[in-house]
Amino acid sequence: MKEESIMFAKQYLEDMLSFFGLNIDVYATMDEDVIELSVPSTHLNGFLIGQRGDTLRSMQFLVSSSLKNNDYEYTRVNIDIADYKKQRQDRLAEKVEEWIEVAISKNENYVCRPMNAADRRVVHKTVGENGKVTSESAGEGRDRHVVISPVKDGSSAEDVVESEDGESEEE
């Protein structure tokens, strides 16, 4: 069942790319319950990624919707074009390290700008690896953001757990 979902998603994306004149082989794997589709670098990278990744997210939505509409068991999809998302995550993780240092040096909460769920997951993961700070999401909808807080005396970052949606909560 897993292989069928992966093959359908891979073929669907390859067919979609062929409409743009790209006859290219998409690399497909599975990470936990997410189908990972990787498109190699081409002359259409900028077009396929779109402004701030909008086209990329739209393609992801189309592939995921098609999987759901065809009753496949696995429907979560992550598409990366020319390692755009990986490079973006790496740059964000570097910024998070700077934000952590600000929170620790000033001994006060650092309120991040509003960001999408994928970026918030990167922040929570990076903070979780630190141990000197904790993180939690706040706000609603487009205003949802992460607050990075220094660990208070008498507690540790291990006292904080992640909830099912990947957000941090205190026990």
Range of the domain at 7: 2-82
Please tell me the predicted confidence (pLDDT) of residue 159: 44
**Residues of the chain above pLDDT 70, percent:** 89
Of 32 and 106, the one with more pLDDT: 106
Give the chain's domain count.
2
Please tell me the predicted confidence (pLDDT) of residue 153: 65
Do 99 and 123 sit in the same domain of this protein?
yes
Do 114 and 140 sit in the same domain of this protein?
yes
40-69 pLDDT, tens digit per residue, is: 999 999 999 999 889 999 999 999 999 999
13-22 pLDDT, tens digit per residue, is: 999 999 999 9
Do 165 and 120 sit in the same domain of this protein?
yes
Does the structure show a pLDDT above 90 at 163?
A: no
59-97 pLDDT, tens digit per residue, is: 999 999 999 999 998 889 999 999 999 999 999 999 999
Do 60 and 114 sit in the same domain of this protein?
no
Do 54 and 18 sit in the same domain of this protein?
yes
Do 74 and 96 sit in the same domain of this protein?
no
Does the structure show a pLDDT above 60 at 140?
A: yes
Do 159 and 92 sit in the same domain of this protein?
yes
Q: Which of 82, 113, 135 is the last residue of a domain?
A: 82
Is residue 35 within 8 Å of 76, Cβ to Cβ? Answer: yes
Q: Which of 64, 82, 100 is the last residue of a domain?
A: 82
pLDDT band at residue 170, thresholds of 50, 70 and 90? very low
